[in-house]
Amino acid sequence: MSSFALFSVVLLYLALLFFVAYMAEKKKSKLWINNPYIYALSLAVYCTAWTYYGSIGVAATSGLNYLPIYIGPIIVIPSWIYINTRIVRISRINKISSLADFISLRYGNSRSLSAIITLVCLFAIIPYIGLQIKAISETFHLVTETPVSKNILTDSATFVVLLIAVFSSYYGTRYVDASEKRLGIISAIALESFLKLFFIIILGLFVIYFVFDGFSDIYHKASRFNDFKAKNTFNGIEGALNWMVLCMISGTAICLLPRQFHTAIIENRQEKHIKTAIWFFPLYLLIFTLFIFPIAWAGRLIFNGQQVNPEFYSILIPQHFDNTVITVLVFLGGLSSSISMIIISAITLSIMLSNNMIIPYGLLGKFKAEDETQNTRNITRIRKFSIFGLIIMAFAFYKYFILKTSLDSVGLISFVIIAQLAPAYFGAIFWRRGSYKGVLVGLLAGLVICYFGLIIPQYYFSYNQEFKGILREMYDAFSFFNIPYLGRIPQIFFWSMLVNTGLFAGISVSMKGNYRERNFAELYVDIDKYIQNHENAFIWRGTAYVSDIKNILERFLGKKKTEQALRIFNLKYNIDSETETADSRFIKFSENLLAGRIGTASAKILIEGVTKEDKISLKEVLNILEESKENIILNKKLTEQSQELKKLSDDLTNANQSLIVKDRQKDDFLDSVAHELRTPITAIRSAGEILADDDDIPLEIKKEFLNNIITESDRLSEIINDILYLDKLEHGEIALHIKENNILETYKKALNPLLHLIQQKNIHISEVNLLNHFIFEYDESRMIQLFQNILGNALKFTDEQGTIQTKFFSRDKELIITVFNTGKHIPEEDLKMIFDKFYQSKNQNILKQAGSGLGLAICRKIIQNHGGTIYAENSGLGVTFTIRLPER
């Protein structure tokens, strides 16, 4: 394929990336932003050209050894659901913008520490970037079958690199504030992760099913190799041990690599995305590595005997079969993996560089004097240049240093160097006593060991030189420390980590840190406790004025944003906006705001510049922290208690309300009872009074009065009895004796005593029986009462010579009895209420009602106790009462 053609393909591809980034930025659609798969895919930036090409090389030459790079991560990743969630929280609250910020903030927000960490990252990652460029360049030339040009300017790979640098510096610096997420870039990265996997699957399928006849075919052919068995097992304890250490190395790398920290922590939008990542990402890695194996062995088989670089089997195989499409696809896949690494690493390194080295060590003075727009522009410009500069540096590195080294070893060395940050990193979130001095000494010691153990030999070996002179003696002296079995890299990893961690722990324990460190230690380790008001947890004493600090804030955030932030702050802590002095909360708040823009170290320096801090002793701080911790716990308890109390008081209020209502109902009831009782009493008294005073009453009238007294007394008695009875019914004091009874007989029993009265009024009474069985379960005495009340009621309201008809039938498992009587209709609105106690309709036309007025209420209660219902309705010439009794 011609250089030009391939170059155009590359251009198209980059255009695609630009387009995706542009659309993502423009649309900012919710679907995209909240998608956990974008997050999970962006983590796959871990798979760089090393994975794409290097691993295949390793698989072909030393078998299983390509796996630990991936097994390490999948062992570590499940713990992310706990660890990373916390780190994300800490970073969000403190507006962390890079790995260096995260670590240095914890250990006292020291500028020097952040600078050192930045240097470590630069040192480790720039060669790694160079590696990617090497891969791009070499594969480019492989595909186009041109030799690598000695002249940089005519080398097409150079232009590719330049284009990538432009892309990164444009989209990577759109947002200055750490809290703003770079949606465009991340979307592009996610796309690349997808594509590189997709293309390797295509290649894999091609190799397995087209070139060979399936997986087992490759397997059988490959197993004929002499070293097949050896390559696919551990080489005794030695092999297994090396393997284990390699896993540990890659396990730390997945957490500490700046690009991983950036995608996993800084670009994280929602904590719950982490949940998706912990299964999605290992799955991704699984699929990737699954295809590496057959491709590697296929390469061995196809190119057996030829002197070919196994790292590029993935390109060479399709090329061998003249399949240009797949060759180009593989190339693009490799390009994707390289580009994503370069972009993210360049961005995060530039942030570190600008925040921790360039700005604090030179430009703060300048920034203090400028306004917001100017400052923002300057920061962006610095970062843009950094990105460019870094990539160029990496390019130079590639050209002059690593021409002869394998992708594999450079990558591993890079991992080991970055692993030196591990004690500080993990110590930051788990160990309160970790101190700045401990970190510093441990880190430096580890780096020294790396330098002498890895860098120098690498340098020498790549130029095939021997150790000379002093160095030789030194190495001989140190050979005492040589652990048998371990390869060089695992060896150095082991020793450097041991010394690093040991010194870190030892020094931290023996020397007390300063109070600022201790403060942040609390914030980090107990992030969940402080998450709501972390400003409160920041301990600071001294003099500071709001106006001074406001001034600084405006220079970086602009007037509007500063005002807004201040308003929120004042609201949160209920502070008067006229306050002139700033307290510790405000200091922390302002530092946070600034840190988002220029990093924590510079933020601290700026604020320090306008405030005067008093010295506090560590002891005091520890006391305050203890107090505030207790306060937080107490506060929580108090809140819980007050909520319980509130619930209790709500319950009490409700109970009270219902009691009041019941009370009122009782009063009303008593009122109506008294009223009902007074009427007959009045009549009795009046009659009695007359009889007593009047001597010459005519005999008939006398008899009338006396009978009146008797009647009214009876009535009175009836009322009293009914009241008591109803009360008992309602309170369940009357036990129901439910037995099987014959409903018709019960009815007859009830009807008998009333027959006399019915005949007196000339009322015609009849029954209609539609039942096929007569036995039902109920309490007979109650039922008799019910019938008598209903019949008595019907009797009262039926006109002379009227009709009462009772019907018995059964429907839907219910016994239904209707009692119909001719007479006046009951007004609609009263149909329900006649069953209430003492109900007297406004429209009743009977002034004096015989009976107690409780009859229907008693009926209702009785039938309710049986689980049935009773209701009345107007029908035709009269009124029908319906009683329904469910059959058991």
Partner 1 sequence: MMVAFSIPVSLLFNSEQEVLGYPMLLVYLFAVWMISIIIALVIVKKYE
Partner 2 sequence: MSLEYSFKKNGYDVYIARDGTEVLEFLKTMIPDVILLDIMMPNLDGFSTLNIIKQDEKLKDTKVIFLSAKNNPKDIEKGLEMGADAYVTKPYSIKKLMQLIEEMV
> What ranges in 405-538 are assigned the alpha helix state H?
407-419, 422-430, 436-450, 456-462, 469-478, 488-510, 515-525, 527-530, 534-537
Q: 78 or 609: whose CB is closer to partner 1?
A: 78
3-state secondary structure of 372: helix
CB atoms within 10 A of CB 282: 17
What pairs with residue 822 in β-bridges?
A: 878
Among 844, 869, 874, 880, binds partner 2 (CB under 8 A): 844
**Helix 183-205 and helix 36-43: axis angle, to 10°?**
70
Decide: is 246 part of the binding site for partner 1 (CB under 8 A). no
Least distance (Å) from partner 2 to the CB of residue 698?
Answer: 10
Decide: is 286 part of the binding site for partner 1 (CB under 8 A). yes
Q: How far is the C-alpha of 595 from the C-alpha of 271, rounded, in Å?
A: 21
Decide: is 37 part of the binding site for partner 1 (CB under 8 A). no
Six token digits for residue 678: 């007074």
Task: Mark the segment that binds partner 2 (CB under 8 A) among 51-59, 378-386, 814-822, 840-848.
Answer: 840-848
Residues 612-671 that bind partner 2 (CB under 8 A): 671
Query: φ, ψ for residue 817 (rounded to 5)?
Result: -120, 125
Least distance (Å) from partner 2 to the CB of residue 686?
Answer: 4
Least distance (Å) from partner 1 to the CB of residue 169?
Answer: 37
Choose among partner 2, partner 1, none what residue 685 binds, the Cβ cut-off being 5 to 8 Å by kind.
Answer: partner 2
Among 161, 247, 329, 709, binds partner 1 (CB under 8 A): 247
Site string for partner 1, 215-244 (x = CB under 8 A): -------------xx--xxxxxx-xx--xx
* Under 8 Å between Cβ of 379 and 597: yes
Decide: is 857 part of the binding site for partner 2 (CB under 8 A). no
Decide: is 854 part of the binding site for partner 2 (CB under 8 A). no
Task: Mark the segment that binds partner 1 (CB under 8 A) among 48-56, 105-113, 278-286, 864-872.
Answer: 278-286
Among 180, 704, 829, 887, binds partner 2 (CB under 8 A): 704
Decide: is 699 part of the binding site for partner 2 (CB under 8 A). no
Least distance (Å) from partner 2 to the CB of residue 803?
Answer: 26
Task: Mark the segment that binds partner 2 (CB under 8 A) among 32-40, 132-140, 679-687, 826-834.
Answer: 679-687
Six token digits for residue 614: 């008093």
Long-range CB pairs of 444-448, under 8 A, 24+ apart, other chains included: 444/116, 445/496, 445/499, 445/500, 445/503, 446/420, 446/496, 446/497, 446/499, 446/500, 447/120, 447/417, 447/420, 447/496
Q: 476 or 689: whose CB is closer to partner 2?
A: 689
Decide: is 276 part of the binding site for partner 1 (CB under 8 A). yes
CA dihedral 329, 330, 331, 334 (to 10 degrees): 120
Q: How far is the C-alpha of 621 from the C-alpha of 123, rounded, in Å?
A: 37
Q: 159 or 426: whose CB is closer to partner 1?
A: 426
Decide: is 701 part of the binding site for partner 2 (CB under 8 A). yes
Encoded amino acid at 697, one letter: I
Q: How far is the C-alpha of 838 from the C-alpha of 723, rounded, in Å?
A: 10
Q: How far is the C-alpha of 759 from the C-alpha of 407, rounded, in Å?
A: 118
Q: 276 or 686: whose CB is closer to partner 2?
A: 686
Among 150, 404, 813, 842, binds partner 2 (CB under 8 A): 842
Least distance (Å) from partner 2 to the CB of residue 712?
Answer: 10
Sign of the dihedral through C-alpha 53, 56, 60, 63: positive
Query: φ, ψ for residue 841 (rounded to 5)?
Result: -70, 150
Look-up: residue for tokens 């390009």?
335
Choose among partner 2, partner 1, none what residue 276 binds, the Cβ cut-off being 5 to 8 Å by kind.
Answer: partner 1
CB atoms within 10 A of CB 468: 8
Residues 710-749 that bind partner 1 (CB under 8 A): none
Least distance (Å) from partner 1 to the CB of residue 221?
Answer: 14
Decide: is 576 part of the binding site for partner 2 (CB under 8 A). no
Choose among partner 2, partner 1, none what residue 689 binds, the Cβ cut-off being 5 to 8 Å by kind.
Answer: partner 2
Task: Mark the segment that binds partner 1 (CB under 8 A) among 130-138, 282-290, 298-306, 826-834.
Answer: 282-290
Q: Could you tell me which of 79, 168, 710, 777 has the C-alpha nearest to residue 430?
A: 79
Decide: is 152 part of the binding site for partner 2 (CB under 8 A). no
Six token digits for residue 788: 């008598």
Q: Say how far residue 785 (Cα) sits from the centre of its chain.
A: 65
Choose among partner 2, partner 1, none what residue 681 binds, the Cβ cut-off being 5 to 8 Å by kind.
Answer: partner 2
Least distance (Å) from partner 2 to the CB of residue 793?
Answer: 17
Task: Mark the segment that binds partner 2 (CB under 8 A) among 378-386, 572-580, 704-712, 870-878.
Answer: 704-712
- Sequence-distant (6+) residues with CB within 8 A of 681 are 712, 716
Among 206, 293, 436, 540, binds partner 1 (CB under 8 A): 293
Q: Could you tell me which of 327, 311, 240, 234 has the C-alpha nearest to residue 5?
A: 327
Residues 446-485 that bind partner 1 (CB under 8 A): none
Q: How far is the C-alpha of 709 from the C-alpha of 28, rounded, in Å?
A: 93
> What ranges in 172-235 are assigned the alpha helix state H?
183-205, 215-222, 228-231
Least distance (Å) from partner 2 to the CB of residue 683?
Answer: 7
Number of residues that bind partner 2 (CB under 8 A): 30
* Under 8 Å between Cβ of 68 and 74: no
Choose among partner 1, partner 2, none what residue 82 binds, the Cβ cut-off being 5 to 8 Å by kind.
Answer: partner 1
Residues 75-94 that bind partner 1 (CB under 8 A): 75-76, 78-82
Residues that bind partner 1 (CB under 8 A): 64, 67, 71, 74-76, 78-82, 228-229, 232-237, 239-240, 243-244, 247, 275-276, 278-279, 282-283, 286, 290, 293
Residues that bind partner 2 (CB under 8 A): 671, 674-676, 678-679, 681-687, 689-690, 693-694, 697, 701, 704-705, 708, 840-847
